[in-house]
Structure 1
Amino acid sequence: MSPALSDARRYDIDALRAIAFGLLILYHVGMFYVPWDWHVQSAYPASWLEPVMTFFNQWRMPLIFLISGLAVRFMRRGRSASMLARQRLLRLGLPLLFGMLVVVPPQAYVEALRNQAFEGGYLAFLGRYLQLQPWPAGSFAGAELGVTWNHLWYLPYVLFYTLVVIPLAPLLDRMSRRFVQLRGTALVLLPLLPLLAAGLWVYPQFPYISHSLIDDGYAHAMFGCCFLYGYLIGRDPALWAHVASLRWWLLGLGVLSFAMRSLFAAWLDTEASGPEGLAWLFSVYLNRWTWMLVVLAWAHWRLNRPMRWLGWANESVYPWYVLHQSLTVVIGFYAGRALLGPVVEPMVVLGGTLLGCWLLTGVIRRSAWLRPLFGLKPRQNATSRLQPEAVTGS
C-alpha cells in the first residue's frame, strides 16, 4: 500500500524537489549538445538527444511550478500572510539580485565572446555589465536591458505567483476542497480545460516564452496554472492515495499520450486552426498533465519515507540551482575551444558542472554570510528543514 499520508513531513515532495533540480541540471547540459538555439553550443551536436529532450521538455518546468505551488500550501501552516510574504521576498529576492550581479555575468560574458560582441577580459566585461546600461542587441540574452537573470527567471515568476496566491488563500482553500474530490478520468481530463484554453487563446497572442515576466502571457497562463494546481492538491490523504493507486494506469496513459503527441507532430499542421489544431493541442496538454500525474503517483508510492540523502539534498538543491548553468556554460565554452572531441568533452562539461556545484555548495553551506545569498536559512535554523521551500526551478 501507499505510505500513510498525514501532517507529518512529506518525504516524497522533498525527494521530488531534489530530483526535479537534478533533471534540470542534466537538461541544461543537454542544451549544450542538442541542435537547438542556446547561449553557447558544442561543436559536436548530438541529434539523438532531441527526442529525449523533447520528452522531458514537455513537463519538466510545469512539474517544478506544480511542486512549488504545493510547497507554498505546506508553508502556509503556522505562518501569517504577511510573514509568508516577507519570507518569500527575502528568500527568493536576495538570491535573484545576487545571482544577476555575481553568478549570471560569466554566462553573459562567454555568450558575448561567442557572438563577437565583446573582445576584452572578464573584469572589463563585468565593469561594463555592472553599469546596468543596455548593450547592443544580440550581445547576449537580455542585453537590451543591460542586465539578465538567464536561468534564474524562475525566481521572479514563483515569487510573483506566491504573492498573488497569499491574499487569495481563503478562496483557493475552498476551491481545493472540490479539486481534491476529482477521481479517475475526471482527474485527468478536467484540469486539461484551462491548459487547452491557454493554448487556444493565449498562446496565439504570446507565441514566444520570453522569461521577461512582463510580456510573457502564455508562460504565466501555463506555469501559473500548474502552480495553482499544486496549491489545490495540497495534503489531502485520499487524493494522494488515489493518485498512487493509479500509477500503472497513468504510466500507460503517459506512454500513449507521448506517442500520440509525437505522431500528431509528424502528421498534423501544428499551426492549423479548427479540429486539426484542437487535436494537436489536446495531445500536447494531455501528455503534459499525465506525466505530471505519473511523477506524483510514483514518487508518493516509492519515496514517501525517510532517506539518508534527503537532508543533504534539501539544503543543497537551491545553491545547485543558482550555480549550475553558469558552470555549464563557462565550462562548455572553454572545453569547446580545447577541441576535446565528442566523448571527452561531454564528460568534462557534465563532470565539471557536478563537481563545481558540489564544491561551491560545500563552501556556501558553511558560510554564514553566503547562506542567505543562496536562499538558505541561517545556520542555527538549518537543521529544522521542515517542508520543502517554494523554490524549485529552471
Structure 2
Amino acid sequence: MVPASPIPRHLGLDWLRVGAFAILIFYHIGMVFVPWGFHVRLDTVPLVTLPMLASNPWRLLLLFVVSGYATRALATRHTSLLGFVKGRSIRLLIPLVFGIAVLVPPQSWVELVTQHGYDAPFLRFWLHDYFGFRLLAGVSLPAWNHLWFVGYLWVYTVAIALLLAIGGRWGARVQALYDRVFGGIGGLVLPLGWLLAVNMWLFVGQSETHGLIDDALAHALYLPAVLFGFAMAGSHRVLATFRRWWWPAAIVALAAYLLAADLEWRWPGLARGPHWAGLTFSATRAVQAWAAIIALIGVAERFWNHDHPWRRTLTEAVFPFYLIHQTIIVVVAYWLRGTALPLALDAVVLATVTIAGCWAFYLAGRAIPWARPLIGLRPTLRKTP
C-alpha cells in the first residue's frame, strides 16, 4: 500500500530545493580553486575554503531531507507501490544511465589528462577505454562522479517502497510515534545527537566513497535524512517546530560555522592541528549541519511557502542543471588552464559559462520530446486529435 493521505505541495521547500542546488553548483565551481580532491584544478586559493565551509556540512543532507519529503508527496499520487517505483525509476534511472554514458566521460578524461598523464584524445578514450569496467591510472571506469546522488536516491526510494510494502499497515502508528518523538525538542536535538555519533564515534576520520556498496558513512547520514523528510511530509508538528525555532537555530549554525572556519584557517585540513582541534571541528560540523537545516526549513515554512511565475520553471530546471553542471565546470576549467587569465577572471568566466550552459542544456532538452526523459523531465503528453 502507499500512504493514503495526499501531501500538498510545499512551495517553500520547492524554493529551498532550487536554492540548495544553486549553492551546490557554485560549490563545485569553488572546487577548482581549493586543495581538496577534484577532477581538475586551476590554482589553490586557501581563502576560498572558508565560504565553502559555510555550506559543506549541510548542503547534501538538506537535499536528502527535501527529497524524502518529495518522495512521500509522489507516493501519495500513485494507486500502487509498483506504479510509484516504476515512475521514480523512469525519472531517476534513465537520466543516470544517460549521464554515466554521455555526460560524465569528459570529466574522467580531463582528470586522467591533467593528473595522470593520459595522452589519448577524448574520442578514443570514450570509445576504447571508458567502458572498460576497470581502473585506469587509479580512476574507476565507467564512473558516475557527481551523479552518485541520483543513484543513492533511487536506492533509498526502493528501500522506502519495501518498508511500505512490509509494514504499511503500521504507517499511522509510525507517523504518530514520529510526531511525538520529533514534534518538539526531539526534532531539534535527536538528529543532532545522531550526527555527533556518526562524526565523532562511528566513523571517526572516514570519508564518503560514493561507491554505494562500500559507503557506510554516507548511508548512515543520508538514509536517515531521507526517512526523516519522508515522515516530515506528514507531520505538521515537526514543520511547526522548525518554523518556531528557525532563528535560534540560525544563530547556532552561524556560530558553529565561525568556529569551524577559524579552525580551518589555523590548521588547513586539520592535518597538523592538535587532537582537540580535530574533535572540535567534527562536532561543530554536526552542530552546523542540523542547525542550518532547522533554520532553512523553518524559513521555507514561514516565509517562502508561496508561488511565483518563475517557480515552476526553476523547479523543473534544477535536475537538468544538476546533471550537466559539473561536466561544464570541468571542461571549461580544463580549457582555462591554457589561457593564462587572472584567477578572478577565470572564476567569472567559469561561473558565467556554467550557468549559460546549464540553461542551454535544459531549454534544448525540454524542447525535444525524445530527449526529455534523458534529462529527467516528463515525456511531452500527446495532444488528443
User: Per-residue deviation at 1:106?
Assistant: 0.8
SS of aligned partner of 1:190: helix
Instruction: Measure, in 2, the Cα distance between the counterparts of 1:104 and 1:7.
Output: 35
Please list the CA deviations of residues 60-85 of structure 1 after superposition, one character each: whole Å capped at 9, or x if unmatched: 01111111111111111132211111
Q: Matches of 2:262 and 2:112 in 1, distance apart?
A: 39
Measure how far apart 1:52 and its partner are: 0.9
- Matched with 2:153 is 158
- 1:327 maps to 328
Aligned residue for 1:212, secondary structure, equals: coil
Alignment partner, residue 253 of structure 1: 252
Match in the other structure for 1:137: 137
2:128 match: 128
Q: Post-superposition shift, 1:362?
A: 0.6
- The answer to whether residue 48 in structure 2 is matched with residue 49 in structure 1 is yes
CA distance in 2 between partners of 1:209 and 1:7 (Å): 32
Q: Tell me the equivalent position of 2:352.
A: 351
Aligned position for 1:308: 309
Question: Which string of whole-angstrom CA distances, capped at 9 and with x for unpartnered residues, describes residues 197-230 of structure 1?
Answer: 32344314x8121110010011110111211211
Aligned-partner Cα distance in 2 for 1:13–1:172? 23
Q: Contact 1:194 / 1:225 at 8 angstroms: preserved in 2?
A: no
- Does residue 226 of the first structure (1) align with residue 225 of the second (2)? yes
Aligned equivalents of 1:338, 1:278: Cα separation in 2: 42
CA distance in 2, matches of 1:196, 1:232: 22
- CA drift of 1:46 comes to 2.5
**Matched positions, count:** 368
Distance 1:25 1:172 in 2: 37
Is the CA contact 2:320–2:362 (under 8 Å) kept in the aligned structure 1?
yes
Alpha-carbon separation, structure 1, partners of 2:339 and 2:259: 42
Residue 286 in structure 1 maps to residue 287 in structure 2 = yes
Letter matched to residue 168 of structure 1: L
Report if aligned partners of 1:176, 1:234 keep a CA contact under 8 Å in 2.
Answer: no
Inter-partner Cα distance in structure 2 for 1:215 and 1:271:
29
Determine if contact 2:18/2:315 at 8 Å carries over to the other structure: yes
Q: Distance in 2 between matches of 1:136 and 1:7?
A: 47
Asked which structure has the greater RCO (Cα within 8 Å, sep 6+), the reply is: 1
Q: What is the letter of the counterpart of residue 233 of structure 1?
A: M
CA distance in 2, matches of 1:375, 1:27: 22
Query: Match of 1:307, SS?
Result: coil
Structure 1: how far apart are the matches of 2:104 and 2:96?
10
1:309-366 Cα distance to aligned partner (Å, 9 max, x none): 1111121111111000000000011012111112221111111111111112111001
| TM-score relative to the length of structure 1 | 0.86
Q: Root-mean-square deviation (CA), in Å?
A: 2.6
Shift of 1:115: 2.1
Q: Please name the residue that 1:106 is paired with.
A: 106
Tell me by how many angstroms 1:245 deviates: 2.3
Aligned AA for 1:149?
A: W
- Unmatched segments (≥5 aa) in structure 1: 1-5, 382-394
Deviations 1:121-171 (A, max 9, x none): 221111123442424333xxxx23x21001101111111111111121335
Q: Which blocks of at least 5 consecutive residues in structure 2 are unaligned? A: 1-5
Partner Cα distance (1:347, 1:335) in 2: 11
Deviations 1:88-130 (A, max 9, x none): 2221111111111100001111111102432122211111234
2:65–2:228 CA contact under 8 A, matched in 1: yes
- Secondary structure (helix, strand or coil) at the match of 2:37 reads coil
Determine which structure has the larger helix proportion and give its number.
2
2-side partners of 1:124 and 1:172: how far apart? 53
Is the 2:85–2:161 contact (alpha carbons within 8 Å) kept by the matching residues of 1? yes
Distance 1:7 1:99, change over 3 A: closer
Q: Percent identity?
A: 29
Distance in 2 of aligned mates of 1:380 and 1:109: 37
Q: Tell me the residue number matched to 1:13.
A: 13
Q: How far apart, CA to CA, are the structure 2 residues paired with 1:289 and 1:7?
A: 24
Matched, 1:362 2:357: no
Deviations 1:282-329 (A, max 9, x none): 433222111111110111122100111111112111111100000000
Partner of 2:34: 34
Residue 91 (structure 2) aligns with: 91
Structure 1's 130 and 284: CA in aligned 2 closer, same or farther, altered over 3 A? closer
Q: Give the equivalent residue in structure 2 for 1:3.
A: none
Is residue 202–residue 217 contact of structure 1 (8 Å, CA) maintained in 2?
no
What residue number does 1:240 align with? 239
Could you tell me which amino acid in structure 2 is paired with residue 32 of structure 1?
Answer: V
Distance 1:279 1:356, change over 3 A: closer
Q: Give the conservation status (yes or no) of the 8 Å contact 2:20–2:63.
A: yes
